């Protein structure tokens, strides 16, 4: 449709009319209706936007843009443009021009944006990233984006009531993400503490919130009983995905943290020495210890070596033991082991982290090994006398413990037990 074809029946402008209008060699404006100052501005390249004609003095007029035309978020359909024009006219105070009104509203909006929870969180993140490692930063920022910003990100932080926070965290717990709710609560409490200590808030509504929420610290360590373990071992060994089966077997056998195994690289495996060296940077440690600490060396049992060689035939062409599906230069997602257990029917009975608890309890109950040795195998030891087994040169002292555990797993797969872990 050409501009010259517009008639009274086309006004007020409809979206279909606007989209049918053809651009011309020069930009032009089309008035929405004769009794409104709203205009559609059409550029030669076909882009359309909305402008309001307003008086800047006696006999003097000007145009001010209020947004691009469109039906998507952030743009203005015909109806939304009329609504915005009406809101601006209504907001005008005595003696103000339209531009004065817009500038005043923009100033108020800017002040609000500077006091939103997300803006405060960004201040806190800027401070914390000085000590966070990359992985921690990605996880924490992602948790805030997924679980907090959609609800509270654009809200002024001082106006969010304690009751709203409580209801929000209760909903997270009801959704079954209890550990995540606890972690997000801790971050939000620290973020609001920043507002308190900088005199932007009198009290922190999250200061005692943890007392009002369900606590399940051991949720991540959920595990089957020893009596149920043989059945689980057999299920894992028979799992349809050989890659996932090997991963779960190694996770159980080596008692390592799931992330450490999932992110492991072939360069860390020494088949000649039957050792896996986990770099300090990938261990659960303070940032300073990640940078300067010793790596964690895990003696590999004969069964583990056999599984790793089989896995090498599957994934040996990639840098990671468990390469990502869409990007083989990255490891699989953090849900890899958990989803495998869920598919085996153990969603509410066994977590990937729970294998560490099974190993710890079984090794201590056996009363054959020094408790410090067991702690070192779990990479819990970092300093003092109890740290003597953490250094690589003491790896031989840990090798019998790890081989005993692999043999126990083999034995349990062939028998039942009435004892509980």
**Which tokens belong to 302?**
């004969």
Query: At CB < 8 A and 24+ separation, what contacts does 97-101 make?
Result: 97/54, 97/55, 97/56, 98/52, 98/54, 98/64, 99/54, 99/56, 99/62, 99/64
Asked whether 321 and 265 are in contact (CB, 8 A), the reply is yes
133-137: average pLDDT: 75
Lowest mean pLDDT among 58-67, 258-267, 271-280, 385-394: 385-394
Lowest mean pLDDT among 79-83, 87-91, 195-199, 307-311: 87-91
**DSSP E strands, 271-326:** 275-278, 296-299
Instruction: Look at the alpha carbons of 209, 210, 212, 214 in this order and tell me if their dihedral is positive or negative.
Output: positive
User: Does the pLDDT of residue 218 top 70, yes or no?
Assistant: no
- For the chain, the helix, strand and coil percentages under 3-state DSSP, each to the nearest 5: 55, 10, 35
pLDDT on residue 418: 36
The CA-CA-CA angle for residues 416, 420, 421, to 5°, reads: 115
Instruction: Provide the pLDDT confidence category of residue 105 given band limits of 50, 70 and 90.
Output: low
Asked whether 249 and 352 are in contact (CB, 8 A), the reply is no
By residue count, the chain amounts to 421
Q: How many C-alpha atoms does 148 have within 13 Å on its Cβ side?
A: 29
pLDDT on residue 211: 80
52-56: average pLDDT: 76
Higher pLDDT, 219 or 224: 224
Q: Dump pLDDT digits (tens) for 3-30.
A: 888 888 888 899 999 999 999 999 999 9
DSSP state of 419: -
User: Does the pLDDT of residue 61 top 70, yes or no?
Assistant: yes
Q: Dump pLDDT digits (tens) for 290-314.
A: 676 778 899 999 999 999 999 999 9
Coil/strand/helix, residue 22:
coil
Higher pLDDT, 250 or 76: 250
Instruction: Provide the pLDDT confidence category of residue 189 given band limits of 50, 70 and 90.
Output: very high
Q: Which CATH class is domain 117-215?
A: mainly alpha
Instruction: For 387, list phi and psi in degrees, rounded to 5.
Output: -90, 5
Query: What span, in angstroms and rounded, lies between the C-alpha atoms of 102 and 66?
Result: 9
Supply the mean pLDDT for the chain: 84
Q: Taking the domains of the chain in order of start, what are their residue ranges? A: 3-96, 117-215, 229-412
Instruction: Provide the pLDDT confidence category of residue 65 given band limits of 50, 70 and 90.
Output: confident
Asked whether 340 and 248 are in contact (CB, 8 A), the reply is yes
Asked whether 246 and 311 are in contact (CB, 8 A), the reply is yes
Asked whether 227 and 419 are in contact (CB, 8 A), the reply is yes
Q: Which CATH class is domain 3-96?
A: alpha beta
Instruction: Look at the alpha carbons of 365, 369, 374, 377 in this order and tell me if their dihedral is positive or negative.
Output: negative
Rounded alpha-carbon distances, angstroms, from residue 113 to 48, 117, 118, 200, 213:
28, 9, 9, 14, 30
Query: Which of 105-119, 211-225, 245-259 is modeled with the greatest confidence?
Result: 245-259
Lowest mean pLDDT among 55-69, 294-308, 311-325: 55-69
Q: Dump pLDDT digits (tens) for 31-42.
A: 998 667 889 999
DSSP state of 280: G
What topology is assigned to 229-412 in CATH? Answer: hpI Integrase; Chain A (1.10.443)
104-126: average pLDDT: 74
Lowest mean pLDDT among 195-199, 266-270, 391-395, 402-406: 391-395
Q: What is the pTM of this model?
A: 0.51
Query: What span, in angstroms and rounded, lies between the C-alpha atoms of 197 and 206?
Result: 14
User: Does the pLDDT of residue 249 top 60, yes or no?
Assistant: yes
Rounded alpha-carbon distances, angstroms, from residue 380 to 136, 219, 336, 388:
19, 19, 24, 12
58-78: average pLDDT: 81
- Could you count the other beta carbons within 10 Å of the beta carbon of residue 53? 15
First to last CA, the chain: 78
User: Does the pLDDT of residue 262 top 60, yes or no?
Assistant: yes
pLDDT on residue 246: 97
pLDDT on residue 374: 86
Query: What span, in angstroms and rounded, lies between the C-alpha atoms of 338 and 327?
Result: 20
pLDDT on residue 93: 63
Rounded alpha-carbon distances, angstroms, from residue 122 to 8, 59, 156, 263:
52, 48, 14, 28
């Amino acid at each position: 449709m050409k501009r010259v074809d517009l008639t009274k029946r086309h006004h007020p402008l409809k979206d279909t009319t606007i989209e049918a209008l053809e651009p011309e060699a020069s930009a032009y404006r089309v008035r929405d209706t004769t009794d409104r100052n709203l205009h559609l501005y059409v550029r030669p390249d076909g882009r359309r936007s909305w402008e309001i004609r307003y008086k800047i003095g006696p006999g003097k007029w000007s145009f001010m843009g209020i947004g691009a035309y469109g039906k998507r978020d952030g743009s203005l359909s015909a109806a939304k443009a009329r609504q915005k024009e009406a809101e601006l006219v209504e907001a005008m105070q005595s003696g103000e021009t339209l531009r004065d009104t817009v500038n005043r509203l923009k100033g108020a909006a800017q002040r609000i944006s500077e006091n939103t929870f997300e803006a405060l969180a960004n201040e806190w993140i800027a401070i914390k990233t000085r000590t966070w490692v990359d992985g921690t930063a990605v996880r924490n920022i992602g948790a805030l984006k997924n679980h907090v910003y959609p609800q509270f990100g654009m809200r002024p932080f001082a106006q969010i009531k304690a009751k709203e926070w409580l209801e929000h965290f209760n909903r997270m717990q009801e959704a079954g993400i209890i550990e995540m709710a606890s972690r997000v609560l801790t971050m939000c409490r620290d973020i609001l503490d920043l507002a308190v200590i900088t005199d932007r808030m009198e009290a922190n509504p999250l200061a005692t919130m943890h007392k009002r929420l369900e606590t399940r610290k051991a949720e991540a360590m959920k595990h089957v009983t020893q009596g149920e373990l043989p059945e689980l071992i057999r299920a894992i060994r028979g799992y349809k995905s050989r890659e996932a089966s090997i991963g779960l077997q190694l996770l159980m056998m080596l008692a390592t943290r799931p992330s450490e195994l999932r992110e492991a690289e072939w360069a860390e495996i020494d088949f000649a020495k039957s050792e896996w060296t986990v770099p300090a940077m990938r261990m659960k440690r303070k940032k300073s210890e990640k940078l300067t600490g010793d790596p964690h060396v895990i003696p590999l049992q004969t069964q583990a070596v056999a599984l790793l060689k089989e896995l090498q035939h599957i994934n040996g062409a990639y840098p990671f033991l468990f390469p990502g599906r869409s990007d083989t230069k990255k490891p699989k997602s953090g849900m890899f082991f958990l989803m495998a257990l869920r598919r085996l029917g153990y969603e509410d009975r066994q977590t990937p982290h729970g294998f560490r608890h099974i190993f710890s309890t079984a090794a201590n109950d056996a009363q054959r090994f020094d408790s410090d040795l067991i702690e070192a195998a779990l990479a819990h030891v970092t300093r003092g006398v109890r740290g003597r087994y953490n250094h690589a040169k003491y790896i031989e002292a840990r090798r019998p413990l790890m081989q005993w555990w692999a043999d126990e797993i083999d034995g349990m797969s062939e028998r039942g037990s009435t004892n509980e872990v």
